[in-house]
Amino acid sequence: MERTTAQWQAADAAHFLHPFTDFKALSAKGARIIQRAEGIYLWDSDGHKILDAMSGLWCVNVGYGQRALIDAAARQMAELPFYNAFFQTATPPAIELAEVLAEVTPPQFRHVFFSGSGSEGNDTVVRMVRRYWDLLGQPERQVIISRHNAYHGSTMAGASLGGMGGMHAQGGLPIPGITHIGQPHWWENGRPQGLSREDFGRVAAGWLEQKILEIGADKVAAFIGEPVQGAGGVIVPPESYWPEIQRICDKHGILLVSDEVICGFGRTGRWFGCERFGFKPDLMTFAKGVTSGYVPLGGVMVGERIAKVLIERGGEFNHGYTYSGHPVACAVALANIALIRQLKLVEHVHDDVGPYLAAQFQGLATHPLVGEVQTCGLMGALQLVKDPARGTPFASELEVGMVCRGHCFANGLIMRAVGDRMIVAPPLVITRAQIDEMMLLIRRCLDLTLADAQQRGWIG
Ligand SMILES: *Cc1c(COP(=O)(O)O)cnc(C)c1O
C-alpha cells in the first residue's frame, strides 16, 4: 500500500537505525524517502526530481535503470540464486567474473578474492598481507601504514585502516599494528609557502619513509591509500605523490595497496586510479562501481608477487565470507563491466565529460566563496572559505558546508559536504548537457549560501 511521506518517516524513525547518523536528530527531522530512479535522476516520495551528483554513494557508475544489469540479476536468481565457494566448489558467474577482472585490471593482477563489500575487502587485505609475510618467514612484518583522513570502510579493520578520528573514538580503534601518516592535502597543510604543489607531493610522500624508518622497515607489512581520497573530501594528490610512494615502498620491500573502491571502474578516466596516477600496487581493493551498486559486491585483486606465495607455499588461508563470489552479485558485475565496455564509459570520462567537468569547475574558482577547486575524472571538490584571497577558512562551528548542502537538497541537487568542502561524483553516463544543468544548480546553491553568509555576518 502507498504511504505518505509522513507515514514513511514515522515508521523509519520507529525502527530503522541509519548508518553514520545522529539517531535523535534524524527522528526529530524525518528522513528523505527516495522512491525511484532513472539515469542520473532520483525521485523522492513527494515526487520531487533530484539530480544525483553523488551516484548514490559513489557507486552507480552506469546510472540507474540499466536493463542489462536488472535482467542479469533476474536470470541468475532463477538459475542459481546462491551457492558458496567454500569446500572446493565454484559457480560459473564467479569464475567468469574472476576471468574478466584479470582482463580489465593492470597486468600484475591474475587472481581475485571476493568479499561482500569494500570494508570486508580491506579486512581481507589485512589478513592477506600478514599471511604473505608469515609464509615468507617474516611474521614480524605486521604494521600497515595508512593516512589521516583516509576512508577504508567501517568494519573493525576498515575503520582502523581509515584515518577518521570520530570513528576511532568510538570502539577503541585502531586495532593493533595500524598506524597513520599525514595526507597529501595541500589546503589542510596550510598551502605551504615557497613550496610548489609538486614539491609538496614529494614532502607528503616522504612522511611514509620517515614512518618506516621510525618503526623499522623489517616490521612494516604494507602501505595502503586511496589514489584520490573520496570520503575525505575528493583530495587529489599532486602528480609527484604516488610515484614517490611507489619508490619508497620498493626501496623498503613493502607491499603497496591501492584502495580502488571509489576510483575503480572508470571514475578517474582510467579503469583504475593507480593507472591514472602511474603506480603499480600489489593489492587492489574494489567494491562500489564493480556492480554500479545494483547489488553488494567487493573484493581484492591479488598481484602475482603475493598470489604466487599464497598458492605455491600451500596451507589453508583461514579466511572467507559466505558471500565470497555470490553468483547473483557476480552476474550483475559481469553485465556492468560489459556495459562499461559497450558504452565506452572509461573513454567517455577520459576524453569528454571529465575534461568538461574540470573546465566547468575551474569556472567556479572566482566565486567569492571558493578557495580551491580540484577535479579528477568525474570527481570534483570546492573548498568554501571566508576569504579566498587570503585562504581564511570559516569557523568550523558555522558548518557552512551543511548550509550549502541544505540549499542543494532544497534545489533538487545531491551534493555532499565534507566539512566545508563540497563534492560531486556523478554517474559516468552523465552528458555535457546534464553537467551544464548540474553546474547551474551548483552556482545557484553557492549564491544562496553566500547570501546566507553575508546576512548572518559571517563574511566582511
Ligand atoms: C566506500 C569505501 C569503502 C567501504 O566500502 P563498503 O562497501 O561501504 O564497506 C572502502 N574504501 C573506500 C575508498 C570507500 O570509498
Is residue 26, in this structure, part of any structural domain at all? no
Question: How far is the C-alpha of 445 from the C-alpha of 400, rounded, in Å?
Answer: 12
> Which CATH number fits the domain that encloses residue 286?
3.40.640.10
Please return the burial class of 364, using the count of CB atoms within 10 Å of its CB with bins 0-12, 13-18 and 19+. middle
In the prediction, which pLDDT does 1 show?
63
As given in the structure block, the three cell numbers for residue 134 are 608469515
* 414 shares its domain with 397: yes
Q: H-helix or E-strand containing 178?
A: strand 178-181
> Which CATH number fits the domain that encloses residue 378?
3.90.1150.10
**φ, ψ for residue 146, nearest 5 deg:** -130, -160
* 230 shares its domain with 312: yes
Among 317, 342, 367, the domain-final residue is 342
Distance 146 CA to ligand 1 centre (A): 15
Distance 428 CA to ligand 1 centre (A): 18
* 422 shares its domain with 289: no
Given a contact cutoff of 8 angstroms between Cβ atoms, the answer to whether 378 and 426 are in contact is yes
* 352 shares its domain with 291: no
Nearest-atom number in ligand 1 for the CA of 117 is 7
* 306 shares its domain with 365: no
Is residue 24, in this structure, part of any structural domain at all? no
Greatest C-alpha distance within the chain: 68
Instruction: Give the residue, out of 61, 119, 274, with the most ligand 1 atoms within 8 A of its beta carbon, to mutate for a pocket test.
Output: 119
What letter does residue 219 receive in the DSSP assignment?
G
If one counts the domains in the chain, the total is 2
Instruction: Give the residue, out of 117, 260, 263, 321, with the most ligand 1 atoms within 8 A of its beta carbon, to mutate for a pocket test.
Output: 117
Instruction: Give the residue, out of 120, 259, 261, with the most ligand 1 atoms within 8 A of its beta carbon, to mutate for a pocket test.
Output: 261
Distance 392 CA to ligand 1 centre (A): 32
* 117 shares its domain with 246: yes
* 187 shares its domain with 200: yes
Question: How far is the C-alpha of 204 from the C-alpha of 246, rounded, in Å?
Answer: 13
Is residue 328, in this structure, part of any structural domain at all? yes
Question: How far is the C-alpha of 223 from the C-alpha of 239, rounded, in Å?
Answer: 18
* 51 shares its domain with 128: no
Mean pLDDT by 10 residues, the chain (460 residues): 92 97 95 97 97 98 98 98 97 98 98 98 98 97 98 97 95 95 91 89 98 98 98 98 98 98 98 98 98 98 98 95 98 98 98 98 96 97 93 92 97 97 98 98 98 92
Nearest-atom number in ligand 1 for the CA of 231 is 15
As given in the structure block, the three cell numbers for residue 196 are 610548489
What pairs with residue 384 in β-bridges? 370
- Residues at CB less than 6 angstroms from ligand 1: 117-119, 122, 151-153, 226, 230-231, 259, 261-262, 287-288, 298
* 84 shares its domain with 135: yes
* 314 shares its domain with 390: no
Nearest-atom number in ligand 1 for the CA of 120 is 9
Of 370, 371, 356, 377, which is closest to residue 439 (Cα–Cα)? Answer: 356
Is residue 329, in this structure, part of any structural domain at all? yes
Distance 184 CA to ligand 1 centre (A): 20
Nearest-atom number in ligand 1 for the CA of 155 is 9
Structural domain of 365: 32-62+344-455
Among 305, 321, 342, the domain-final residue is 342
Distance 196 CA to ligand 1 centre (A): 31
Nearest-atom number in ligand 1 for the CA of 260 is 13
In the prediction, which pLDDT does 189 show?
84
Distance 193 CA to ligand 1 centre (A): 34
